[in-house]
Every structure is written in structure tokens, then in C-alpha cells.
Amino acid sequence: MMSVFHGDKGRCVDEKIPPPVVEAGRNGDAGALATICENLYPRIYRYLSYKVDDLRDAEDLAGEVFVRMLEAIPGQTGNLEAWLFRIAGNVLTDHYRRRAVRSDTVGLPEEIAGGEDPAVATERKLTGERLKQGLRGLTEEQREVVILRFILGYGHGEVAEIMGRSAGAIRALQFRALSALKVALGERT
């Protein structure tokens, strides 16, 4: 099987937004802030779209991430992208709180929890919706690592920075996460 990893996978975050732009953004330059938003919005949105049920919520929450960014960016240091994902995590926490739904207790969708015939499930093509449903069968950390590592394509170093874990821990977590996803999708291990 040919690799389908995207061309920019594992790239250094700083390559995406040039440091002078980040610096101008910290100083409140509207053009720089717009550039940051334009470049990073798709990833933040995609991240959130796998975390919430309603895609309209994902849009709202992604917008909220960038509004919160304005508040905190003057004092921001270090990796901007990892920092934005941490804001996204906080926005999500507030969203869950508002909805009184704890993300780590989301039940398995009926289709998967109901014990679909693994052979049938394996043959079915993996679709975005099925992937999303499969992710619900994972713990919060496992879901996080799958989204960041395989859906958004970050290297394990970047994922470690975003999640505040060591690279070794991420390696172990991604193994467990993929194994759990395989089970959640009804595939034989």
C-alpha cells in the first residue's frame, strides 16, 4: 500500500506561520492576526469537528478559539499552534460544561456498541462518519491522539507538546488508540 500521508506531515509548526507574522500578531496587527486565523482555522475546525456532534457547533467553537486568541496572544510564547490547540481544548471543556455532557462518558453509537458483525464491518469502507463514530468508543486521550496524529497529521513531538506529554508516552498512546479504534470499528485485531 502506498503511503497516503500528506506532504506537509511532520513539518515544523513555525514553517506555517513565519515568526515575524506571529510577532506582529502578538502586537495586535490585524493583518497578521487574520493570516494566523486563515492558516490555522482549517486545522482547529477539523479538530473540533471530530470532538462535537454538530458541525455547526464546530464552526462556532473554532470562531471562539480565535476570539480567545485575541485576548491572550500578547503574552503568548513558544509554539503558537500547540498553544491554539490548548485554547481549543479549553473552549471544548466550556462547551461540554454548557451542554452538561462529559466528553469521556459519551456512549458508543448504537451501530457499533450493538456488536455489528466484525466481518461485515471490516469490509465496509471507512467513511468520515464511521470514523467519527469509531472515535467515540475511545477514551478522551486516545481520541485526542488519533485526531492530532492521523487526522491532522502532526508528528509525535508536536502532539506531545499539544497534549503536554512526553514523546514516549505519545508513542504508547497512539498504539493503544489505534488498537481501540480497530475494536470500535468492529475490525478483528
Q: Which residues bind another protein (CB under 8 A)?
A: 1, 3-6, 8-10, 24, 28-31, 33-34, 37-39, 41-43, 45-46, 49, 55, 58-60, 62-63, 66-67, 70, 126-128, 131, 146, 149-153, 156, 171-172, 174-175, 178-179, 181-182, 185, 187, 189
- Provide the minimum distance between the beta carbon of 105 and another protein in the complex, in angstroms, as a whole number: 24
Instruction: Please state at what angle helix 80-99 crosses helix 156-163, rounded to 10 degrees.
Output: 50
C-alpha cell at 107: 456512549
Query: Nearer Cβ to another protein, position 32 or 89?
Result: 32
Query: Nearer Cβ to another protein, position 31 or 102?
Result: 31
- Provide the minimum distance between the beta carbon of 120 and another protein in the complex, in angstroms, as a whole number: 17
Q: Distance (Å, rounded) from C-alpha 128 to C-alpha 29?
A: 37
Query: Nearer Cβ to another protein, position 102 or 184?
Result: 184
Q: How does DSSP assign 48-103, residue by residue?
A: HHTTSS-HHHHHHHHHHHHHHHHHHGGG--S-HHHHHHHHHHHHHHHHHHHHT--G
Query: Nearer Cβ to another protein, position 57 or 140?
Result: 57
- Provide the minimum distance between the beta carbon of 39 and another protein in the complex, in angstroms, as a whole number: 8
Q: Distance (Å, rounded) from C-alpha 23 to C-alpha 174?
A: 33
Of 65, 57, 58, 56, residue with least CA distance to 86: 65
C-alpha cell at 64: 471562539
Query: Nearer Cβ to another protein, position 89 or 186?
Result: 186
